[in-house]
Amino acid sequence: MKTIRISFFQMLAYMRRDRMLFAACLAPILAGFLFRFAIPLLEAALTDWFHVPAIIVPYYALIDIFFAMLSPAMFCFVSAMVALEETDEKTAAYLFVTPLGRNGYLASRLGIPSVAAFLVTSVLMPVFKLTSLSTVDIILLAAGGTLQGIIISLLILTFSSNKLEGMAITKLSTLMICGAAIPFFIKHDVQYVLSPLPYFWIGKTICESVPIYMLPAFILSITWICFLLKRYLRKI
């Protein structure tokens, strides 16, 4: 446990030297203020301008989903960038044969950031949510978002060989989050074309207020994580 803690603190020291990564960790708080206060003001301005009762309000739940994904995406992106550089410099492979070991390395680079993302999301969601989400909904969203963050992190590590490629993969992988919007806009059965994406089921859970839909989201997320983790370990 001591070696895992030291390895994690080494990652934090690296983050402090990289302003972009440090800023990414603060993004959820800044976005929370934007979502919680700017969007209702925008909604009031739009409804007054177009003389309609609601424009953005029907999609407040979708905005809450996106916010729940933000902390895990940012935290796991930061850890992935650090691990990517270590992989590129071949230091990750060397760390595997130290007392830290492979499992300890994965715990410090994926496990701890994921737990931190879950806790941060659980704290920020009640403060910045736009809808009346229950405690169970918040916990489910935080857990689902954390798993998606791990998937994004593993996609970066598996398919990138440097930071530039990592940034490109990050942009492409975060597009999958849009799968959560499908149940809000497509009511026909054609929506199930995107059912292999965990995001789709997370969106469906909140859109239709059916918590059991989180079960396929969790199963699919774990399947994605296992597949990508094997690819990543073979890569390094």
Most confident of 38-42, 102-106, 190-194: 38-42
Sorted by sequence, the CB contacts under 8 Å of residue 80 that are 6+ apart come out as 109, 152, 153, 154, 156, 157, 166, 170
What is the pTM assigned to this prediction? 0.90
Q: What is the pLDDT of residue 162?
A: 77
Q: What is the pLDDT of residue 173?
A: 80
Sign (positive or negative) of CA dihedral 209, 225, 153, 6: positive
Mean pLDDT value across residues 137-145? 93
Tell me how many degrees the CA angle 226-232-236 measures, rounded to the nearest 5: 145
d(CA 86, CA 80): 10
Mean per-residue pLDDT over the chain, rounded: 88
pLDDT one-digit tens code per residue, 17-33 = 777 777 778 889 989 99
Q: What is the pLDDT of residue 43?
A: 94
Sorted by sequence, the CB contacts under 8 Å of residue 37 that are 6+ apart come out as none
124 has a pLDDT exceeding 90: yes
